Chains A and B, each alone.
Chain A
């Protein structure tokens, strides 16, 4: 589904992705972790080409992303992206947030799109918040609307960039629950997170990044219990103690 082959990226002189090789199968849930600044966001932002890369090949569902003639709008419509800070559209209600792209990108009729949006909001447990504006919702609710917004496009892949890092602790659970459900339904997911509980429960694989390299990859249980590298071991002890 997602295939990185020797992908390299620089921000000016800063080498942020170094020879990334990674293969994600359909239905697989991959958790990406690593210290801040290690390139996790950049890595998953490459998957829908929110970031360009300079070297290597990347195929997403068979589409070559290193090819500049690739139709990005079409690609992005197939991939949901959930941001740390939600980035809902503040001038629209929850329902309008979810229905907008189906109407404008998928050319759905407004009534159909709104029915779809109601369905997706119900799926993330927010059936009763359809008419609320983002600022009238808690952080956890906003993030669930953001997930519904992605799901409304019937994506083949969902990408999450630290979806719970901006949330108060008591709201993390409600967002993770939605993600767990999504994973159990067979969605292909790449999740940047330090939530080890989530990784243990649903991830098929954990990937550890450091300084732009993919340092270690393994099954969640093995990775957390027996990290193979010192860097990973150090990182795990740090997130365990806080």
Chain B
């Protein structure tokens, strides 16, 4: 199958064309931090500054705050109505391979057993257009987590920087179909493919941070009750929640009601296992102590998710390392888990 290419100068036109069918989202700093935001129809300066978003693109499918339904009390009692569905599907432009993988990991939870209609209706109708990294951060360790910075099977289309052009790879049938209806793309030549191959390797080699995750699930299980170890790991954490709220594979949410006169909404909002109230029960709190909460965060990703879904829920995106105010570092933690075979009690 021959791939296509698009000249960098033609990106505006391409997004405009896609914008007729989709709500196009692209990296933006409009809100103060880099995040996916609805494209304004002209600005493509993100192509210059973009490394990755601070807010992961999971926010497109699991927004920080989301209405679940409205209710109204009338003469006949309560009336409940879900919010109207979005008119147009989303097209996310320039998703990084680590974040695309993260959404595949989130799908496992939202699809399992009872399906989550809010997440899945948005997710399944969306198109992901990936963009290979040319300039990974020092904190990135995706290559240790089975992700390659300029390759992805988790997007519909994948763009790779080959100089004046982006190579456009058709990854899924959905992506292929979109390309067949898109004008202005040129056929990629053999030289283009060769350049892309080189670019993929160059990106891969630029990720210098490495993490050995061998046997981590069992090591964590054996160290679960090692309070001394976890106390040390958690010592400097200030429980701000950033590393979880902005982690692309974290999905915890809270549910609350808001009532104005007789009309109300129920909404959900991001939550974090790092917060002490998260598990607070009327009579007691199983995770009052900070080390228990930090243990939960680490074990959920590297022990529990593998136990349930056979995959580590971390893609090495490095956000939790870059954004932590006290330089807590998940790679250091994982490396320091004792290699014991018997459970420490």
- Chains A and B are bound partners: no
User: Which of B's residues lie within 8 Å of A, judged by CB?
Assistant: none
